Amino acid sequence: MGIFDNIISKVKNDLSYKAGNEISDAITKGASKILGKNDEPKKNKCPKCKKPLSEGLKFCEECGAKLTVSCSKCSVDYPVGKKFCPSCGEKLV
């Protein structure tokens, strides 16, 4: 059962991360329109704790969550949230 719990936890974190980004982007765009400010660049956030991230990290500095997924076919690491490997086209889990 442990492997299924890990998979379920990862899917839940990915969905939470995507939903959080969509909501925060919508709020930012709405606030920019109201305040008359230009859109700010998108900042990466940890899928687990939602803290801002520096570029190039493999693990969150705040909570230790893994921020990359490895391609099962070519073993290249990519940021969490990618659906397919840009190198070989394999579906990323």
70 vs 78: CA distance, rounded Å = 6
Instruction: Please give the chain's pLDDT, 93 residues, in tens.
Output: 578 888 888 888 887 877 777 887 888 777 777 766 554 455 688 988 999 988 888 899 999 999 988 899 998 888 888 889 988 999 987
Answer positive or negative: Cα dihedral of 2, 48, 74, 57: negative
Q: How far is CA 49 from CA 3, 4, 17, 46, 91, in A?
A: 22, 22, 9, 6, 26
Q: CB of 20 within 8 A of CB of 50?
A: yes
Q: CB of 69 within 8 A of CB of 93?
A: yes
The pTM score is: 0.45
71 vs 68: CA distance, rounded Å = 10
pLDDT of residue 13: 82
